[in-house]
């Protein structure tokens, strides 16, 4: 069975950040539409990069151009100086466990993103990973641009030319995206060929309207990016999604085993979603441990790690949220 790409989404909804570099125009549009924009940086031990992200984003998009109304850091319990440094450079810092404290506590990026919905005030929320070494304000305004200038677009996703840092001092010009090419794209090709047009579904930077984010569930850990795309696609269709080329992003390179754990979480999220929507039928429940092997003194030793694939329900189902934002489920 083959799939013909019928619509021209890739052409129509793919942008380059430079199309939005007129920041005065974006500010004007934001004010005209009476919107507030919040920027959230989820952190866990990011002392090496967090200050730079805060300073540059704040300088360019708050002090010089009032495009962003608040910049918050939500921390998962860093043991380094992340929280201290972020506060010193003027971000509003929150500890994830202290937000909605009566709920069961989880640790993960998705948890921080979900709780950001409760903490932030903005109509548009921009999520940017805190480990970007070559941070530039284009990472934020590139994602905000289509949301302000095109009324149909409700969610924007970054993609990059992805050099990764290798060794101490050298950059490899291309690389990264292994989980995308080995896991996500084959899965999308099998189930949702239309979604293969999203060049980097796992990129950690995205932005969207609150009214979208508060109606979808958030997996606690790695699965959050995949799940977000699947849910938005299912509820509102591909045309509300746009992708923006943000040029280069330099970040930490992860080893294959870490990518294996990431793939496990993504596969689990994906299969559970498919099961729930009736697209596939699983005779038995999936296991929740990834088993990897180490060679120790000529013997293979298994190392199992639980990845439960927990997720938070849509924020709009949380009464405190509904009360705070005066919305109802």
Where do contacts with other proteins occur on this chain (CB under 8 A)?
47-49, 51-52, 55-56, 58-60, 63-64, 81, 84-85, 88-90, 133-134, 136, 165, 168-171, 250
Round to whole Å and give the CA distance between 310 and 198.
25
Our CB check for other proteins shows the closer of 59 and 189 to be 59
Our CB check for other proteins shows the closer of 12 and 172 to be 172
Our CB check for other proteins shows the closer of 33 and 64 to be 64
- What is the smallest separation between the CB atom of 273 and other proteins, expressed in angstroms? 37
- What is the smallest separation between the CB atom of 304 and other proteins, expressed in angstroms? 36
The structure tokens listed for 161 are 């030319």
The conformation of residue 19, written as its DSSP 8-state character, comes to G
- What is the smallest separation between the CB atom of 129 and other proteins, expressed in angstroms? 15
The strand pair at 289-296 and 70-75 is best described as: unpaired
Sign of CA dihedral 197, 202, 205, 211: positive
| Closest by CA position to 76, among listed 89, 95, 57 | 95
Round to whole Å and give the CA distance between 132 and 140.
12
The conformation of residue 164, written as its DSSP 8-state character, comes to E
Q: Is 277 exposed, middle or buried (0-12, 13-18, 19+ CB in 10 A)?
A: exposed
Our CB check for other proteins shows the closer of 12 and 252 to be 252
The structure tokens listed for 75 are 């921390």
Our CB check for other proteins shows the closer of 80 and 194 to be 80
Upper half-sphere CA count for residue 110 (Cβ side, 13 Å):
25
- What is the smallest separation between the CB atom of 131 and other proteins, expressed in angstroms? 11
Sign of CA dihedral 88, 94, 97, 102: positive
Our CB check for other proteins shows the closer of 60 and 214 to be 60
- What is the smallest separation between the CB atom of 166 and other proteins, expressed in angstroms? 10
- What is the smallest separation between the CB atom of 271 and other proteins, expressed in angstroms? 38
Our CB check for other proteins shows the closer of 58 and 157 to be 58
Our CB check for other proteins shows the closer of 71 and 158 to be 71
- What is the smallest separation between the CB atom of 93 and other proteins, expressed in angstroms? 14
CB 204 within 8 A of CB 127: yes
The radius of gyration of the chain from alpha carbons, rounded to an integer in Å, stands at 20
CB 134 within 8 A of CB 249: yes
- What is the smallest separation between the CB atom of 51 and other proteins, expressed in angstroms? 4
The structure tokens listed for 29 are 């549009």
């Amino acid at each position: 069975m083959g799939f013909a790409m019928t619509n021209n989404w890739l052409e129509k909804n793919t942008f380059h950040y430079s199309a939005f570099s007129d920041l005065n125009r974006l500010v004007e549009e934001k004010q005209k539409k009476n919107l507030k924009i919040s920027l959230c940086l989820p952190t866990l031990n990011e002392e090496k990069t967090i200050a730079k992200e805060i300073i540059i984003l704040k300088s360019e998009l708050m002090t010089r151009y009032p495009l962003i109304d608040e910049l918050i850091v939500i921390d998962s319990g860093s043991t380094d100086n992340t929280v201290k440094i972020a506060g010193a450079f003027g971000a509003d810092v929150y500890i994830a466990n202290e937000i909605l404290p009566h709920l069961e506590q989880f640790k993960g990026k998705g948890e921080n993103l979900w709780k950001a919905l409760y903490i932030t005030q903005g109509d548009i929320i921009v999520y940017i990973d805190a480990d970007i070494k070559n941070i530039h304000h284009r990472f934020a305004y590139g994602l905000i641009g289509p949301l302000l200038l095109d009324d149909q677009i409700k969610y924007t996703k970054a993609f990059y030319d992805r050099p990764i840092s290798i060794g101490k001092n050298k950059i490899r010009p291309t690389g990264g995206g292994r989980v995308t090419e080995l896991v996500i794209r084959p899965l999308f090709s099998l189930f949702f060929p239309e979604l293969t047009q999203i060049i980097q579904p796992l990129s950690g930077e995205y932005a969207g309207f609150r009214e979208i984010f508060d109606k979808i569930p958030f997996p606690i850990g790695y699965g959050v990016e995949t799940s977000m795309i699947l849910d938005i696609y299912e509820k509102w269709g591909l045309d509300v999604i746009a992708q923006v080329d943000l040029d280069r992003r330099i970040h930490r390179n992860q080893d294959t085993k870490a990518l294996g754990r990431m793939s496990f979480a993504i596969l689990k999220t994906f299969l559970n979603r498919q099961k729930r929507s009736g697209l596939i039928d699983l005779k038995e429940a999936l296991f929740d441990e990834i088993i990897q092997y180490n060679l120790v003194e000529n013997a293979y030793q298994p190392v199992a790690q639980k990845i439960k694939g927990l997720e938070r329900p849509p924020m709009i189902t949380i009464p405190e949220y509904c009360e705070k934002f005066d919305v109802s489920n």
